Amino acid sequence: MKTEDFTYYNELYIKKSFTKVAQTFGISQPSVSMALKRLETHFQSKLVIRGNSQTELRFTPAGEQLYKHTSSIITELDNAVHELNHLKSHITTIGLPPMLKSAYFAKIAAASKEFDKRFNIKNMHIYEAGSNVLKRSLIDGDIDIALLGSLNCDANNELQTESFVQAHFKIFVSTKNPLSKKENLSFADLKSQHFVALDSSFIHNQAISFFANSGNIRPKFFMKTSDINFLMNMVSENLGIALLADIVEPTTPGIVTLPLRDENQPTFIGSIAFRKNHILTSEEQMLITILSKYSRTKM
């Protein structure tokens, strides 16, 4: 059995054709047949029921079961290649959501300086995206470690996380908005307001949905963006209000923050995360140690 046999088998299950699989990978049709034979021999099970050339392939129960695992096997093999190449390169890629990057810039700068002193900053790459995107990138092996935002205890079987901050959410509103004169708000008070929100790559969309479902209201959106500073400018100009975690400070004059008095509220959790099957290098361990030293709770 060869590792590429799983790749060919996965494609065979999807396309139900030896010819189409051969064309996809630029190999001969007998090569696909031999890959299948090796798998059947290894697992001592018949996987495919061959018909004539005019009918689609059918798969046995054993064949169906193997397909359930092939995607995971292929992903793990790709991750293994990435991990081994990563060890050779000594490159560490860290994922940073813009909000956590802004809130913990001093700590990130300290970690970067220490990394440069010990290992050379050229060997550290930064990948910036929302937490939802970074989580997927971690699982896929595209990045090595990441700071992630999540709601409550968002457990993931594939990731190891260490939380370093917990915070509630607040409403960011322009001083030009009459709401700014209030001491606090309920989410239901905002049903006539327009939101300036972070896009779907951020977990803040999930927080808005949580509050909206609890208050049985449908939020109105003026716009969505991935740029925190642009969002702040829009709020300052009273083009909309924003729901953000209380680790964020207004970056533009003319904005006030108001707590929400709703009883049932999600909690923002900031964590350092990496894959559970990933053995940390000395470079990554150093970064995690420095970044996790500062624990801050805003509740």
Q: Are residues 237 and 277 in the same domain?
A: no
Res 53: pLDDT: 60
**Residue 10 counted as domain residue:** yes
pLDDT digits (tens, 9 = 90+) for 144-161: 899 999 987 666 788 999
Length of the chain: 299
Res 297: pLDDT: 45
Q: Are residues 156 and 13 in the same domain?
A: no
Q: Are residues 132 and 280 in the same domain?
A: yes
Q: Are residues 115 and 230 in the same domain?
A: no
Q: Are residues 278 and 136 in the same domain?
A: yes
Task: Output the domain CATH number for residue 37.
Answer: 1.10.10.10
Indicate the pLDDT class of residue 215, thresholds 50, 70 and 90: confident
Q: Are residues 95 and 132 in the same domain?
A: yes
Instruction: Count how many domains the chain has.
Output: 3
**Residue 84 counted as domain residue:** no
**Residue 138 counted as domain residue:** yes
Q: Are residues 124 and 161 in the same domain?
A: yes
**Residue 82 counted as domain residue:** no
Burial of 38 (C-beta count, 10 Å sphere; 0-12/13-18/19+): middle
pLDDT digits (tens, 9 = 90+) for 161-171: 988 889 999 99
Res 47: pLDDT: 93
**Residue 195 counted as domain residue:** yes
Spell out the SS3 assignment of the chain.
CCCHHHHHHHHHHHHCCHHHHHHHHCCCHHHHHHHHHHHHHHHCCCCEECCCCCCCCEECHHHHHHHHHHHHHHHHHHHHHHHHHHHHHCCEEEEECHHHHHHCHHHHHHHHHHHHHHHCHHHEEEEECCHHHHHHHHHHCCCCEEEEEEECCCCCCCEEEEEEEEECEEEEEECCCHHHHCCCECHHHHCCCEEEEECCCCCHHHHHHHHHHHHCCCCEEEEEECCHHHHHHHHHCCCCEEEEECCCCCCCCCEEEEEECCCCCCCEEEEEEEECCCCCCHHHHHHHHHHHCCCEEEC
pLDDT digits (tens, 9 = 90+) for 230-248: 999 999 999 999 999 999 8
Task: Output the domain CATH number for residue 244.
Answer: 3.40.190.290
Q: Are residues 280 and 161 in the same domain?
A: yes
Task: Output the domain CATH number for residue 137.
Answer: 3.40.190.10
**Residue 83 counted as domain residue:** no
Q: Are residues 112 and 67 in the same domain?
A: no
Q: Are residues 162 and 280 in the same domain?
A: yes
Query: In the predicted model, is pLDDT for residue 173 greater than 70?
Result: yes
Residue 239 near residue 222 (C-beta atoms within 8 A) = yes
**Residue 80 counted as domain residue:** no
**Residue 37 counted as domain residue:** yes
pLDDT digits (tens, 9 = 90+) for 57-102: 889 999 999 998 888 888 778 777 777 776 676 688 899 998 888 8
Res 147: pLDDT: 92
Q: Where does a domain end: 46, 74, 102? A: 74
Residue 211 near residue 262 (C-beta atoms within 8 A) = yes
Q: Which tokens sit at 285? A: 């361990």
Query: In the predicted model, is pLDDT for residue 295 greater than 50?
Result: no
Residue ranges making up the domain that contains 62: 4-74
Indicate the pLDDT class of residue 52, thresholds 50, 70 and 90: low
